[in-house]
Amino acid sequence: MIPYGKQDISAEDIAAVNAVLTSDYLTQGPKVAEFEQALCDYSGARYCLVVASGTAALHLAVAALELPAGSEGITTPNTFAATANSMAYCGIKPVFADIDPLSHNLCPAAVASAITPATALLTPVHFAGQTADMPALHRLAQQHGLKVIEDAAHAIGSCYADGSPVGNCRYSDATIFSFHPVKTLTCGEGGAVMTNDPILYQRMLLLRSHGITKDPSQLSQQPGPWYHEMQTLGWHYRMTDMQAALGLSQLQRLTLFKARRRALVARYNEALAELPWLKTPQEMEGFSSCFHLYVVEIDYAAIGKSRSQVMDSLMADGIGTQVHYIPVYHHPWYREQYGDKTGSCPVAERYYQHCLSLPLYFTLSDEELRHVNQAIQRLAR
CATH number at residue 265: 3.90.1150.10
Render pLDDT for 175-210 as a digit per residue (tens, 0 to 9): 999 999 999 999 999 999 999 999 999 999 999 999
Q: Identify whether 5 is part of a domain.
A: no
Look at strands 229-230 and 212-213 and give their pairing: antiparallel
Cβ-contact 177, 57 below 8 angstroms: yes
Beta bridge partners of 209: 236
For all residues of the chain together, what is the average pLDDT?
97
Total domain count, the chain? 2
Give CA–CA dist 242/27, Å, rounded.
7
Residue 254 predicted with pLDDT over 90: yes
Q: In terms of residue numbers, what domain contains 37?
A: 11-251
- Kindly state whether residues 362 and 233 are assigned to the same domain: no
Could you list the active site residues?
183
- What are the start-end ranges of the E strands in the chain? 47-51, 72-75, 93-96, 119-123, 147-151, 174-178, 191-195, 212-213, 229-230, 278-279, 294-298, 355-358
pLDDT digits (tens, 9 = 90+) for 271-295: 999 999 999 999 988 899 999 999 9
Do the domain assignments include residue 284? yes
**pLDDT classification of 381: cutoffs 50, 70, 90:** confident
Domain boundary among 251, 276, 292: 251
pLDDT higher than 80, residue 303: yes
123 shares its domain with 178: yes
Look at residue 285 in the predicted model and tell me its pLDDT.
Answer: 84
Q: Does residue 6 form part of some domain?
A: no
Domain with 52 in it: what CATH number?
A: 3.40.640.10
Q: What is the mean pLDDT of residues 7-28?
A: 96
The 8-class DSSP code of residue 328 comes to G
Q: Residue 261: what pLDDT?
A: 98
- The pLDDT assigned to 284 comes to 86
Residue 126 falls inside a structural domain? yes
Is the pLDDT at 43 greater than 90? The verdict is yes
Q: Are 35 and 252 in contact (CB under 8 A)?
A: no
The verdict on pTM exceeding 0.95 is yes
Residue 332: pLDDT over 80: yes
- Structure confidence at residue 336 (pLDDT): 98
Q: Within this chain, do residues 163 and 261 fall inside the same structural domain, yes or no?
A: no
